[in-house]
Amino acid sequence: MASKRDDFKETTKDIMAKRVGYRCSNPSCRKPTCGASDDPNNYSNIGVAAHICAAARGGKRYDPDMSKEERRDIHNGIWLCQTCSKLIDSDDLRYTVDLLHKWKSLSEEIAILDLETASPAQFVEQDKELIRFYIQCFDRPAFRDEIRMEFSMEDFDRAIEDTIIALNTGVLRTRDGSIIKQSEGKAFVQNPDWREKLYNIVDILTAIRRRLNIAARDGSYHQHKNGSEIIYVFHDPQLEIWLNSSREEILRIMSTICKDIGVPELLFPRCRYSW
């Protein structure tokens, strides 16, 4: 017989969704979860009030020491889109309780900042200001150095993740997770061509993280030291080429937007291995 679920009350779900502005709390997603439907008297909702610690025994991250009320409490919930709701239950070793609480806290903080910096619909100059903000996200070693020159793959992965978050939310973070600047996410860009290009960039960044995570699990590269110099040696040369060319493609796409708004293109000097 299946365990009884300690589900959230409807009022709890409603508050959970509103606290993040009806957006997915995954900082790498931030997809709107509520909008108009064909029925003028109704709306569409793809949001899910997901449990951080499972609602029933056998679920992901289930905590037997929690009471029924604690499982049903808003503190144990996180608002996600349907895709991300399924994602967090696909790998509870990766999507831990601590990580989900960090997602929730960051999303609620962003929602507060959105209210404090609310503005009318974006015009051309406002679009340009957003693009100038996004350009800052790429001025870092993760987009300048060849992949073999990375000092730490963990730091590289974090830099790529922070870039995705910045484009999705308008938030730049330091290495310790502190918010250092607030703008708007790419969904606020009104120019449809620029907006589509930014979405393509995020897709490529996400693909880079996935490929690198698979490579790490498969042992597809190793670190090699020679004195004070460190390089990464990839056992599959095509993977190394793809990681380098993918980042170059990102800079190429971003440079086309830079050209449109009249600022220098992202032609960073490439740091190459010196041996």
Q: Which two tokens stand for residue 124?
A: 């051309």
pLDDT for the residue 120: 47
pTM of the entire predicted model: 0.59
Of 130, 135, 132, nearest in space to 188 by CA: 130
The rounded distance, in Å, linking the Cα atoms of 180 and 170 is 11
Whether the CB-CB separation of 40 and 53 falls below 8 Å is answered with no
DSSP 52: S
Q: Which regions of the chain are under pLDDT 50?
A: 1-2, 120-122, 271-275
Q: What is the Cα–Cα distance from 132 to 124, expressed in whole angstroms?
A: 12
Neighbours of 119 (CB within 10 A): 9
Residue-level pLDDT at 228: 65
Model pLDDT, residue 1: 44
So what's the pLDDT on residue 3? 60
Per-residue pLDDT tens over the stretch 190-249 = 788 898 999 999 999 999 999 988 988 888 888 877 666 667 888 888 998 999 999 999
